[in-house]
Structure 1
Amino acid sequence: MIRTYGPESELSPYEVQAAGYALRFRCETRAGTREVSIGTQSPDHTVQWTTLARCRLNDLGLVTPSLEGAPDGDVLRLKRAVGAGASASQSHRQATGRGEARGREQQPRTADPRSLETAGPAHDEPADPRAQAARAALPPIVDDLLHRFTTAGLSLTLAGASVRQALEGRVGHELDFVTDSDVRRTRQILHGWGDDIRFQRDDAPDVVSLRKQWDGDTYTLRINARTAPTRHRPSGSRRAEHEKALEAYLRRRDFTIDAMALGLSRVTLTDPFGGLQDLERRVLRTPRAPTAAIVNDPPLMLRVVRCAARLGFEPAPELRDAMSATARRVTEVPVEQVREELTALLLSTRPATGLRLLVDTGLAEHVLPELPALRFESAGHHRHKDIYEHTLTVLDQAIALETEGPDLTLRWAALLHDIGTPRTRRTGRNGQVTFHHHEVVGAKMARKRLRALACPEQLIADVVRLVELHLRFHGYLDEKWTDPAVRRYVRDAGPLLDRLHKLIRADCTTRDRRKAHALARAYDSLEERIERLAVEDAREAARPDLNGHQIMEILGIRPGAELGRAYEYMRNLHIEKGPMNFETARDALLEWRARRDR
């Protein structure tokens, strides 16, 4: 028999695998008409929806167009087997029995028919290159750790994001494992081998974490162990418990691409939720129904945004829809966690990608409302400029100007530099739109938003200052600045001058090449003046507090070697002790002369 499930019901991977498919249903009201849709879920967990009117009934039950078109040997073959009398639960028990009779292997049985298995030397099955390449990409520390567990008669499986990184050929220094040992035994195995061994318990299973120095690198290893066995537990149930713990661990991962496990002794890739296919498609999908996953864990929505920006993956349509439908629940996330997620987003390789997703799903309305507020057009004689798109472009251009790695202060300033435009927008009689003093208003808004996110005070002060000053340069274009005006510009920027240079250059997003070149030349000119004045000011600062005429008058000497020595002494004294008034400088010179005469 084939059961029918709701659109968000969670299914064990074995249920769909054993039956060959599952049917889902949903009811919707469109234009006042109630419509029933039927979805055909295949073993890889994809669902193809159709209307009930397009389905038909036969001796096997409800048949959808997807099942009609499935080739023999695929879903339709499995459907016929089910119709011949094998129920989903019977097929599951048979599959489990066959799995237990396959041998006494330590590695978990793969739950998905697309799971990869690489045989050892005694088998003739061809080795899957992806699994082997992932195993070969692991650092030697993994082999040493594996040896300790296999010597104790236990298994060790790489799991989670570490598997994805290994499949991509870029293993990091944080590795996650699952073992069939309990916590006590795991700690005994690791005793004397790892550094700073810690025990933490979230829900289940228990986690033993440690740091280990290896070949000059520091690794953080997390081993997920099962709970301690009951006193009367049958000895043959350890494998079943390990499989259950592995599946539970993988189901709790945020995304299917991180819900895979790589066997280490006998190389196997366990992929119960289709993570390998999602990795190839560069799609973010949740192992559980997305709405249920978000309801149970609202911060997941922010992690989706962060991972989309960091990895460049696209959320699956059902995940994006679930985020939009439950966006308000992001208000349940502690503000410190929101800040950390936004920080990670801004420091990622593609922050604009994540910010677009944040806005499009409605999350930004609750955590960064100033950003979607920029989605309007300012018209000037029918010439439009989207401030929202301009802001994201400025952010990208500021990142391109970074020279010493990601600069969080610069990126926040680029993101918030124009948030004062909606409040200062005015339309004149001639239809011209202006945003007078939006930098002043924007600075106040930036301070309020960053404080609401509990950001560090120094970061807030620096971002606010950059927002205040980002339009100052336009005064240089309108009128020729005097040297004192340039010095005031430098003084007001202080240690933020280099960031201000980058922000102002990034703020030029005009498509008019002539105008863009003119702005660039003007700012080149300003930077050259700043450098020239800095050299002159440094030279002036190095001059002694007494000039040559004053030295000759005080010492009663004429130009010559004696004047040169006195001048050099006063210059060095100025450098060492700083500026002095005339009387102090005169006394110091006379004291120097007296020492020379003794």
Structure 2
Amino acid sequence: MNFEVWPEAIELGEMFAAEGYELALVGGPVRDLLLGRKSHDLDFTTSARPEEFEPILRRFGHDGFWDMGRKFGTLGAMRRRPDGTEVKVEVTTYRSDRYDPNSRKPEVDYGDSLEGDLSRRDFTVNAMALRVPDLEFVDPYGGANDLNRKVLRTPVDPRQSFADDPLRMMRAVRFVSQLGFSIEPETASAICEMVDRIDIVSAERVRDELTKLLLTDAPRPGLEALVESGLADRVLPELPALQLEIDEKHRHKDVFEHTLTVLDRAMALETGPDGPVPAPDLTLRLAAIMHDIGKPATRRFEPGGKVSFHHHDAVGAKMTRKRLKALRFDHHVVDDVSELVNLHLRFHGYLDEPWTDAAVRRYVKDAGHLYHRLNRLTRADATTQNKRKAKMFEQAMDDMEARVIELKKQEDIDAIRPDLNGDEIMAELGLEPGPIVGQAYRHMLDYRLDHGPSPRDEAVAELHRWYDETHADAE
């Protein structure tokens, strides 16, 4: 095979060979090389021990060196090209891992051959190597053929592979989306049989794989594989729960299929890097797959064959918060996704009767920094096949967004505050800090949202009117 290989890989290979050590490019970089993709993060394996190749790597890495993986036999280095591009390399000694069946953390044993090292890789398409500097292609497990067939298969028996490292099952469904591959039948069967093994993997590791899946260009097939394999039952049970039974009497949308369609539509509404929701946006995509998870718990069969899901937005928001916290997502992600789920039906009242300016202000105020994501989630959620209804919905959203633009020309509705601040409220009413001041502040904020900016004397008059009606008798 002919390869156009990174010059840094050739140079590093020559440096190792000069010291009498073997070096090979392995894993994702080799796979991507065959796929015609380029990466600036290069993984290598070597016959040398870390203490032996550390001096070589320090000489190579003019601009950085790290050894956080030393206990696993891994050291890393970085250099910058003249154009500013960073090339990062990580080198690991040949490995022959042993696993504790109750843990996915290997007990590291150094190996003595490249082929043995490749046998411990997750999938055959990642078990190919390219020796450097002589560019000998090494493929003992048929990875190139599987790459050509777009198939995911383990180098050894899949049950042994997944028993050793259960996270490989999550990587399999992620690669379905990331690479557009299918899982080979025996490998897929092993995943279905061994899904309970994923329970020993930390929530953070599962979260990272789910995040990588969602941020691919085509997450739908990976999510379908996650559900079909049974993995979702263990790591994201709210998703397969959306596969509600649909009978002839109680007709409603397939909520799972609807959810995947909403995800596709939301992704299509992501913007370029300078837009309000740059692609890929994890918060929007998480909100898309979670927005209806409250429906199974709120489904009710109504007279006349109708089905209702009252308050599924509020219920779903609580469920979303609980699940994302369990998966150890950052607090801001948990808060933002939960709030998007809570607000995703908010706009629908606009269809019944166009809002007053006060209602528009409240919508923007409540959405806050999530305004643009909320609008995109709302648009994506309108999956009706009725062309007339779809057009009416789009026109209503366009109209509301245009009104927001006009209101923003008149006032900063993104940062609306009451016409009187807390200190002014206390001074006017002769109060010390306490609950009544908070109540007064909230009332004046509502007044501001309802009436727009008011002259100071009108705001003061409204404050006293409210206080006299609600608290003066308690003095």
Report the TM-score, using the length of structure 2 for normalisation: 0.79
Match of 1:331 in 2: 199
Number of residues paired by the alignment?
A: 399
Alpha-carbon deviation of 1:579? Answer: 9.8
Does structure 1 residue 146 correspond to structure 2 residue 146? no
2:317 is equivalent to residue 449 of structure 1: no
Q: Distance in 2 between matches of 1:411 and 1:199?
A: 32
* Residues 246 and 252, structure 2, Cα contact 8 Å, conserved in 1: yes
- For residues 184 and 489 of structure 1, what CA distance do their matches in structure 2 show? 61
Structure with bigger strand share is 1
Instruction: Provide the residue aligned with 2:381 in structure 1.
Output: 507
User: What is the match of residue 230 of structure 2?
Assistant: 362
Match of 1:163 in 2: 30
**1:344 pairs with one of 212, 234, 240:** 212
The 2-side partners of 1:187 and 1:520 are apart by: 60
Contact 2:250 2:305 in 1 (8 A): no
* Superposed CA offset, 1:431-463 (max 9, x none): 111111111111111111111112222111111
Q: Where does residue 198 of structure 1 map in the other structure?
A: 67
Amino acid at match of 1:492: D
Corresponding residue number in structure 1 for 2:74: 207
Q: Distance in 1 between matches of 2:357 and 2:44?
A: 64
User: What secondary structure, in the 3-state scheme, does the structure 1 residue paired with 2:373 have?
Assistant: helix
Q: CA deviation at 1:327?
A: 0.9
Q: 2:52 aligns with which of 178, 185, 203?
A: 185
1:223 to 91, 115, 130: 91
Work out the percentage of aligned pairs sharing the same amino acid: 46
Contact between 2:94 and 2:113, CA under 8 Å: does it hold in 1? Answer: yes
Higher helix share: 2
Q: Does 1:433 align with 2:300?
A: no
Q: 2:390 maps to what in 1?
A: 516
Partner of 1:293: 161
Q: In the aligned structure 2, how far is the partner of 1:270 from the partner of 1:499? A: 47
Contact 1:183 1:226 in 2 (8 A): no
- The AA in structure 2 aligned to 1:416 is M
Deviation at 1:175, TM superposition (A): 1.1
**Letter in structure 2 aligned against 1:271:** D
Deviations 1:117-174 (A, max 9, x none): xxxxxxxxxxxxxx21x2x1x2221222223223334443222222111112222111
CA offsets, 1:211-267, max 9 Å, x none? Answer: 22233222221223359xxxxxxxxxxxxxx99420121111111001111133433
Q: Distance in 2 between matches of 1:221 and 1:189?
A: 12
Deviations 1:489-535 (CA, angstroms, capped at 9, x unpaired): 11111111100110001001112222211211111111111111222
Determine if contact 1:347/1:406 at 8 Å carries over to the other structure.
Answer: yes
Partners of 2:178 and 2:53 in 1: CA distance: 34
Q: Secondary structure in 1 aligned to 2:113?
A: helix
The alignment status of 1:251 with 2:119, answered yes or no, reads yes
CA 1:161–1:202 in structure 2 vs 1: closer, same or farther (change >3 Å)? farther
Of 154-163 and 246-255, deviating more is 154-163
State the 1:188 CA deviation: 3.0
Structure 1 residues 421 and 197: CA distance shift in structure 2, 3 A: closer
- Closer, same or farther: CA 528–156 of 1 in aligned 2, 3 Å: same
8 Å Cα contact 2:226/2:232 also seen in 1? yes
Paired position in structure 2 for 1:281? 149
Q: Distance in 2 between matches of 1:316 and 1:185?
A: 40
Q: Please say if 1:272 is aligned against 2:140.
A: yes
Question: Could you state the TM-score of these two structures normalised by the residue count of structure 1?
Answer: 0.63
Q: Following the alignment from structure 1 to structure 2, what is the Cα–Cα distance between the partners of residues 436 and 328?
A: 34
RMSD: 2.6
Distance in 2 (alpha carbons) for counterparts of 1:226 and 1:391: 44
1:505 and 1:329 map into 2 onto residues whose CA distance is 39
Distance 2:138 2:153 in 1: 17
Amino acid at match of 2:224: R
State the distance in 2 between where 1:441 and 1:154 align: 60
After superposition, the Cα gap between the structure-2 partners of 1:254 and 1:498, relative to the gap in structure 1 and judged at 3 Å, is same
Distance 1:449 1:226 in 2: 39
Q: Deviations over 1:263-282 (max 9, x none)?
A: 33433211110100000011
Q: 2:332 aligns with which of 458, 464, 475?
A: 458
- Checking the alignment, whether the CA contact within 8 Å between 1:380 and 1:432 is kept in structure 2 is no
- Call closer, same or farther: CA 1:430–1:337 in 2, change over 3 Å: same
CA 1:199–1:458: 2 relative to 1, 3 Å: closer
Shift of residue 342, structure 1, vs aligned partner: 1.5
Give the C-alpha shift of residue 296 in structure 1: 1.4
Query: What is the alpha-carbon distance in structure 2 between the residues aligned to residue 181 and residue 365 of structure 1?
Result: 43
State the alpha-carbon separation in 2 of the partners of residues 146 and 580 from structure 1. 75
Counterpart Cα distance in 1 of 2:68 and 2:377 = 46
Contact persistence 2:50–2:70 (CA under 8 A):
no
- Give the residue type in structure 1 aligned to 2:50: V
- Aligned residue for 2:172? 304
1:33-53, Cα deviation, whole Å (9 max, x unpaired): xxxxxxxxxxxxxxxxxxxxx
Larger Cα-atom Rg: 1
Counterpart contact for 1:442–1:468, Cα < 8 Å: yes
Partner amino acid, structure 2, of 1:450:
L
Change (3 A) 1:151 1:389: same
CA displacement, residues 372-395 of structure 1 (integer Å, 9 cap, x when unaligned): 111014568664410000001101
Q: CA-to-partner distance for each residue in 1:463-482, whole Å, 9 max, x for gaps? A: 11111111111111112321
| Equivalent position amino acid for 1:454 in 2 | R
Match of 2:298 among 408, 421, 424: 424
Contact 2:94/2:111, CA 8 A, preserved across alignment: no
User: Comparing 162-171 with 408-417, which one deviates more in the overlay?
Assistant: 162-171
- Which residue among 394, 399, 413 is the counterpart of 2:262? 394
Aligned to 2:346: 472
Q: Is the CA contact 1:379–1:433 (under 8 Å) kept in the aligned structure 2?
A: no
**Partner Cα distance (1:422, 1:199) in 2:** 45
Aligned partner letter, 1:146: G
Could you say if the C-alpha distance between residues 252 and 487 of structure 1 is closer, same or farther in structure 2, counting changes exceeding 3 Å? same
The aligned residue for residue 491 of structure 1 is 365
In terms of mean alpha carbon deviation, does 428-437 or 192-201 score higher?
Answer: 192-201
Residues of 1 paired with 2:22 and 2:331: CA distance?
A: 49
> 1:521, 1:458 → 2: CA distance?
32
Judged with a 3 Å threshold, the aligned counterparts in structure 2 of structure 1 residues 335 and 182 are, in CA distance, closer, same or farther, namely closer
CA distance in 2, matches of 1:140, 1:182: 24
DSSP-derived class of the 1:354 partner: helix
Looking at structure 2, the residues matched to 486 and 379 of structure 1 have their Cα atoms a distance apart, in angstroms, of 39
Per the alignment, in what secondary structure is the counterpart of residue 430 of structure 1? helix
